[in-house]
Structure 1
Amino acid sequence: MSTLQMQGIEKQFSGVPALRSVDFEVKAGEVHALLGANGAGKSTLMKILTGAYQLDSGTISIGGETVQIQSPQDAKALGIQCVYQEVDTALIPYLSVAENILQDRLVQATGSGWINWKRLYDESEELLRKFGFSIPVKMTVEECSLSEKQLILIARAALQKAKYVIFDEPTAPLSTKESERLFQIIAQLKQEGVGIIYISHRLPEIFEICDRITVMRDGRHVVTTETASTSIDEIIGHMLGKSFEEEFPKAKVDIGEPILEVKGAKGGKVRGADLTVREGEIVGVVGLVGAGKTELARLLFGADAAEAGDIRLKGAPLQLRTPKDAVDAGIVLVPEERRKEGIFVEESVKNNLSVASLTKWSRFGFVRGGSESGLARELVQRLGVKTADISQLVGFLSGGNQQKVAIGKWLETDASVFMFDEPTKGVDIGAKSDIYRLIGNLAQQRKGILYFSCEFPEVIGIADRILVMCEGRIVKELSREEATQEVIMYYASGGE
C-alpha cells in the first residue's frame, strides 16, 4: 500500500516560523482529516505538498521514495491534486464549464492546433452525469453559483485520476444534498485506492467520513489518532489547547427601537421580504442554499437593484442604488465571498483595515500614515488577527484572520446596521468564537445586526429572532425560544 509521508517539515515567512518539524502522512485508500485552528499551519503544509510553497527543511516521500516538489506541475505529475476552498482562484471565469473541467486536455489540444469541441462537451456531460451533477457544460464559469464552481473542481480532480486528493473545506458552499453526493464520491475514490486529505471545520462530517485525524496547533503536529478512538470534545481540546466550553457566547443586551425596517423588498431571487431590526438586536436570516439569503443581503446593501419595496433607516426612507449609498446611510456588509468581495488580497493588513474609514485619517487628499498605522495595530489587537506585521499582505493570512480583517474595516465607520453573510464559512472553531464575541460587542453598542447563514445551530445560538427564507421569501419568523433545527428545516424546505 503506497503511503505519502511528510517528515520534519519546516517553513518560515520573514523569519516567523509557520511550520515547526511537522510530520503528516496519508495512506492509499484512506480519508485522513487535517484539522487545526486558523493559523495552525494546515494551509501552509498543503501548499508545500502542492508545490505552491517550497519547504525550508524536511522530506516528502511516496511509497518510501523521496520526491522533490518544486512547483504545482511537479505535484500533479506525482498524482497530487487539490480541490481548493477559494474556488475562484482555481477556475478561469470566462471559459465554459467543459473547458475548465478538461483544462489540461484543452492545453494539449491547443498545442496540436485542433480541438474537437463536440467531443469536449460530450465528455464533460458524461463525467458530470456519472457523478450526479447537473450543470450546463457550455455555460461560462462566471455564470455559475459558488456550489456549482466547487462541483466543477471536484469533477476535474476526479477526471485526472489523482493518487492523492486534498479537499479544502469542500462542503462550505454546498447544500446538504450536494454534500451527501460529495461524500459518495469520496467513498468511491477511496475504494479506487485514492488517498484523501480532508480539511474541514465541520467536525460532525469529519467523524462521519474520515478514518484518521491529525491535529495541528501553532505550526506543530499535536496528535494523530484513529477517528473511532476519539471524540469531538477531545479533538476540540487538541485544536485549542484547552477545553471549549462556550461555543456561542451570547451577550445580554436590552433591545431598543427599530433601526432598519424593510417592507415588500423584491429584486432578482428575492420575491418578498418584510423585516425589522432593532437597536442591539441580532436577527438571523436562515435558509437552505439557494433560498435567496445572499441576494437579500446584496439588495439591502445596494449591490443589486431592488424592483420594489420600502427601506427605512431610523424612520427615514432610503434609495439604495449603490453600496456607497448604503455605507453613507450607515448600512455595511461582510459578504460571503470574502476574497472576492470582502478584502483586497494583494494589499496589506493596514490598508484593508483603514480603507473604509480613510476620510478620518486623511487631510487634503493625503493620508496621515502614523494615524492609519495606529488604527491598524489597535484593530489587529482588538480583533485577535494573527499576522506577522500590519504590512503583511492579507492574501497570506488564514481564512479566519482574513474574515476578521473583512469585519474590522467597518468598525471605525459610523454604521448603525451590520450585515454578516455566512461570516464563519471556512473558519475554525476558535476564530468562530472570536467572531461571535465581536458581533455580540456590536449588539452591546446598540448596533442592529442581520446575520445570514445556512448553519441552523449557529443561528439558533447567536440570534435573538430568526427569519426563515424559502424560494426568495421570508416565510416564517421564530423567537429564540421557538427555534429548533427541526422547526427551521420544516419551513426552510417549504413547509407551511
Structure 2
Amino acid sequence: MKGTSTMIEMRNISIDFPGVAALKNVNFHVEKGTIHALIGANGAGKSTLMKVLSGAYGHYRGEIYFHGEQAAIRSPKDAKQFGVQMVYQEVDTALIPHLTVGENIMLEQMIHGMGRKQLIHWKQLHKQAADVLANLNVAISTHKRVDELTLAEKQMVLIARAISDQCSCLILDEPTAPLSQTETEELFRLIRLLKKKEVAIIFISHRLPELFAICEEIAVMRNGELVMKEKTALTSPDDVIEQMLGKTLDEQYPSRQPSTGETILEVKNLSDDHMVKNLNIEVRKGEIIGIAGLVGAGKTEICQALFGASLQTSGAIFIRGQKVNIASPTDAVRHGMVLVPEERRKEGMIISESVATNLTVSAMSRFSKLFSFIDFKKEKRAAEDMIQRLGIVTPSAEAKVANLSGGNQQKVVIGKWLLGEADIYIFDEPTKGVDIGAKREIFGLITELAKQGKGVIYASSELADIVGMTDRVYVVYDGEAVKEVPTSSTSEAEILYYSTGGK
C-alpha cells in the first residue's frame, strides 16, 4: 500500500478490445481528500482506466482495492457501492431529455423507489434536487425539462446527480469543456468543498492550466500505460506534454501566409427564431474568420443558423455573390457549405456505424455505379486513404466509431466533409475535448483548407486558439456580433472585454 490515506489502488490493470490492447498492467492509486489529474493523448487509455474503476468495463484483468480490501468491481452498481461516481464528457448520452432536472438528478433514488413498489413523493424529490443544486450554487429550476437546458446547465445537472448519492470518489471526464469561466470557477469551488469532506477527485482534462490550478497530483498515460505520476508542484506543463506525446511539441499553431481572394460568403442582417440577432459577416476565399465569445453567447446558434439548422426569420445569405435560400442543412450542403458541430456524438456522426461508413456517408454519389449500386471497394479505399491522411487511430476501417477516442472521432467528423466538394467550412468548437497533439493536427487540417482557397469559419470560446488560428474575428455577445477586428491587431484581453459586454 501507498500509505494509510490511500483510498483506491488499481494493480496491474489490463484490458483488450478487438485489435487493441487498451490498458497494459497499469498501477494507479488515489488518496482520499486529494484532487488527482489524469491526462494523456486521445486513445492513451485514461477514460478506459476510469471506466474500469467505475464499473463500465468489467472484462479487465488485475485487481482493485478500497482501503486495503480487494473489491470486485465488474458493474456500475458494484462501483457505486464503494461510492465511485463518474460524470462523462458527452452529457446528452447520460441524461434523459424528456424528464425534468429534478427527475434526472434523483434518477437513482426514483429507480430504487419504484423497484420496491413505493410511491414517488414528487414534492420531496424536487426539494431534495433543489437542495443539491443550491449546494452547487446553481440556479436551475428542478421542474425544467433537460432538453430545454444549455450544455453548461446539463453538465451541472450531471454533477449534481453524482453527488446526490453517497460519493467517496468523483471522476470528472472533461467537466469544464462546456462551461464558461464563471461556471468553471463554481465547479472548482465545489471540488474544493468535496476535498474538505475527504472525497477523492479524479479530474480528466486536456486543459493544462486548469489542472495545474486545482490538482495536487498529475498522472500521465501514453499508449495504454502509466508513464508519469508526480506532484503538480514538482513538474511543469512542458514536462507533461513531453510525457503525453513521447516527444517535445512543435509550435502549436501552424505558420501560414494568408492569401485571401474574393468574398465567398456574405451574410446580411441574419436573425433566427431563438438567439441570433442581425448577423452581418463575410468570409473570403483562403480566409479563416473567428466567431469568438463565452459559453452561451450564441456561437453555436450562429453556426446552426448559417447551416440551415434553425429557423431563419430575417436576413439574407449570399454565396459567390448569389443570394441563396438555406432552409435546411441539405440546402447548405448543396451550396457547398458544411458544419463540423460542437456535439459530435449527437450531431456529427452515426455512432453505431463503422469508421468507413461515417467517412463516406456524405459523399456516396462518388461511389455509386450504374443504377445506384455502391462500389464498396472504391468506398473502402477512399475511407482507408482518409484514415491514413488524417492519422485516425483505429483498428480498421470497419471498427465502430463509438469505440474511438474523442480526438479520433473528431477527425472522422472532419474527414467525412473532406471527401465532398465543399467551399465553406464551419467549425464549432472543433478541438473540444481533444488532447494537445490532436489539436495540433486539427489546426493543420484547417490551415490546409484555407491554403486550398476554402472559406473557414472557426467558432470557439478558447480565445488563445482564436488569436492563434484566425485572420479576422467577430466577437459575439448575447447572440450579436458586437465587434469585428483583424486578429493581428487584437489580443485575448480585448476579445474577452467585448465578449463580456464591454463597449
TM-score band w.r.t. shorter chain: over 0.9
Amino acid at match of 2:139: S
CA deviation string 1:404-456 (max 9, x = no partner): 00000000111100000000000100000000000001001100000000000
Once the two structures are TM-superposed, the CA of residue 365 in structure 1 deviates from its matched residue by 2.6
Amino acid at match of 1:183: F
- The 8 Å contact of residues 250 and 437 in structure 1, kept in 2 or not, is answered as no
Aligned residue number for residue 41 of structure 2: 37
- The 8 Å contact of residues 14 and 23 in structure 2, kept in 1 or not, is answered as yes
Deviates more, 1:173-182 or 1:135-144: 135-144
CA distance in 1, matches of 2:395, 2:48: 15
1:237 aligns with 2:242: yes
Which of 7, 23, 36 does residue 27 from structure 2 map onto?
Answer: 23
Which of 468, 475, 497 does residue 490 from structure 1 map onto?
Answer: 497
SS of 1:92 mapped into structure 2: coil
Aligned residue number for residue 323 of structure 1: 329
Deviates more, 1:1-10 or 1:441-450: 1-10
Amino acid at match of 1:98: G
Once the two structures are TM-superposed, the CA of residue 12 in structure 1 deviates from its matched residue by 1.3
CA distance in 2, matches of 1:420, 1:216: 29
Which of 405, 410, 420 does residue 403 from structure 1 map onto?
Answer: 410
1:199 aligns with 2:204: yes
CA distance in 2, matches of 1:144, 1:242: 41
Amino acid at match of 1:229: L
Deviates more, 1:263-272 or 1:249-258: 249-258
CA distance in 2, matches of 1:433, 1:232: 16
Deviates more, 1:121-130 or 1:277-286: 121-130
CA distance in 1, matches of 2:373, 2:145: 42
CA deviation string 1:228-285 (max 9, x = no partner): 0011111111111111131111322311111000010111200121111000000010
Once the two structures are TM-superposed, the CA of residue 109 in structure 1 deviates from its matched residue by 2.4
Identity of aligned residues (%): 48
Which of 48, 51, 61 does residue 47 from structure 1 map onto?
Answer: 51
Once the two structures are TM-superposed, the CA of residue 65 in structure 1 deviates from its matched residue by 1.2
Once the two structures are TM-superposed, the CA of residue 56 in structure 1 deviates from its matched residue by 3.5
Which of 58, 62, 74 does residue 62 from structure 2 map onto?
Answer: 58
SS of 1:104 mapped into structure 2: helix
Amino acid at match of 1:217: R
CA distance in 1, matches of 2:88, 2:361: 28
Aligned residue number for residue 125 of structure 1: 130
Which of 373, 383, 397 does residue 376 from structure 1 map onto?
Answer: 383
Amino acid at match of 1:228: A
Which of 352, 355, 362 does residue 368 from structure 2 map onto?
Answer: 362
Report the TM-score when normalising by structure 1. 0.99
Once the two structures are TM-superposed, the CA of residue 54 in structure 1 deviates from its matched residue by 2.3
CA deviation string 1:366-425 (max 9, x = no partner): 211101100110000011100001110001000000000000000011110000000000
Which of 456, 461, 464 does residue 468 from structure 2 map onto?
Answer: 461
Aligned residue number for residue 263 of structure 2: 258
Matches within 5 A, 1:58-457: 58-111=62-115, 112-267=117-272, 268-363=274-369, 364-457=371-464
Amino acid at match of 1:475: V
CA distance in 2, matches of 1:453, 1:446: 22
- The 8 Å contact of residues 250 and 462 in structure 1, kept in 2 or not, is answered as no
Amino acid at match of 2:109: R
Which of 464, 472, 491 does residue 479 from structure 2 map onto?
Answer: 472
CA distance in 2, matches of 1:58, 1:5: 11
CA distance in 2, matches of 1:146, 1:401: 22
Once the two structures are TM-superposed, the CA of residue 305 in structure 1 deviates from its matched residue by 1.1
SS of 1:425 mapped into structure 2: coil
CA distance in 2, matches of 1:119, 1:9: 42
Amino acid at match of 2:288: I
Once the two structures are TM-superposed, the CA of residue 2 in structure 1 deviates from its matched residue by 4.1
- The 8 Å contact of residues 52 and 71 in structure 1, kept in 2 or not, is answered as yes
- The 8 Å contact of residues 24 and 225 in structure 2, kept in 1 or not, is answered as yes
SS of 2:417 mapped into structure 1: coil
**Structure 1: gaps of 5 or more residues:** none
CA deviation string 1:113-171 (max 9, x = no partner): 31111111122112211211011111111111111110001111111121111000000
CA distance in 1, matches of 2:482, 2:190: 34
Deviates more, 1:131-140 or 1:242-251: 242-251
CA distance in 2, matches of 1:368, 1:422: 34
**Structure 2: gaps of 5 or more residues:** none
Amino acid at match of 2:192: A
Q: How many residues align?
A: 496
Once the two structures are TM-superposed, the CA of residue 55 in structure 1 deviates from its matched residue by 4.1
CA distance in 2, matches of 1:400, 1:418: 19
CA distance in 1, matches of 2:122, 2:392: 48
Once the two structures are TM-superposed, the CA of residue 15 in structure 1 deviates from its matched residue by 3.8
Amino acid at match of 1:288: L
- The 8 Å contact of residues 251 and 441 in structure 1, kept in 2 or not, is answered as no
- The 8 Å contact of residues 350 and 373 in structure 1, kept in 2 or not, is answered as yes
Amino acid at match of 1:7: R
Give the superposed CA RMSD. 1.0
Report the TM-score when normalising by structure 2. 0.97
CA distance in 1, matches of 2:395, 2:448: 26
